[in-house]
Amino acid sequence: MSSPNSSEKQPATKTSASSALKPQKPIQASAIYTFVPNQIGFLRVVLMLASLFTMQHHPKFTMCCLYSTSCLLDAFDGYAARKYGQSTKFGAVLDMVTDRCSTCSLIVYLGVIYPQWFIAWQLLISLDLASHYIHMYAQISSGSNSHKTLKKDTNVLLRLYYENRTVLFLVCALNELFYMAVYLDYYDFVKLPFIGISFPRLLVYVSTPVWAFKQFMNVIQLMNACNMLAEMDAKNYNEINKLN
């Protein structure tokens, strides 16, 4: 029997969160839907869909409870995927599709309440969808495991945007805040003392520079993805036609 002061190491009894959730036998495809990050993703979808029904008549409830919560949960699904070792291709696609559907749905409503800017709203939706779709397709075609994993020779701003989680979170959050603030600014809010503008209008001013940067990044992302596909096509063409 070892004494209380024995130097023999006792077996560890604590297990990590990821190992505690790891199955003991092969899983079926349906089990992917039960992964924690994907459950968070499904909740995001429910909240986003609910916001569509309240957007017209309940602006405060929509932005403060439904739409904003759906956006904030975007920061937690990736964390859960890393913590529990449950990163999946389905989850990555679900995350991006939910982001695109949320933003575009809100912009569509902005086109209803600000019809004088309908061309701008159409261009923003087109740029958002095109840049992200072509980017993901190019990354998958190149053999990358994630649309956030970029080559070392990729544009430095694009790498900073995708590889620095803090930058990615802040840019995406303030981009959404811009659209939310523009939406809320349509409704009557009391003007703040001393500055003479409403709180939503103040948020519009604060978030506009980052929103503009996000659109700039969408253009860079679109151009980079097109160049990637063109390079792969050129390589494939040369191999088929045996051109050196």
Q: Which residues are catalytic?
A: 99
DSSP structure class, residue 182: H
Report the candidate in 103, 106, 108 with the shortest Cα–Cα distance to residue 128.
Answer: 103
Q: b or e along 203-219 (b: 16 or more beta carbons within 10 Å of the residue's beta carbon)? A: bbeebeebbeebeebbe
Say if residues 131 and 221 touch (Cβ distance below 8 Å).
Answer: yes
Scanning the chain, the segments in alpha helix (DSSP H) are 17-21, 36-54, 59-61, 68-72, 74-83, 89-113, 118-141, 156-163, 165-185, 199-240
Q: In angstroms, rounded to a whole number, what is the distance separating the alpha carbons of residues 102 and 129?
A: 12
By the 10 Å C-beta count (0-12 exposed, 13-18 middle, 19+ buried), 105 is classed as middle
Say if residues 184 and 59 touch (Cβ distance below 8 Å).
Answer: yes
Say if residues 182 and 106 touch (Cβ distance below 8 Å).
Answer: no
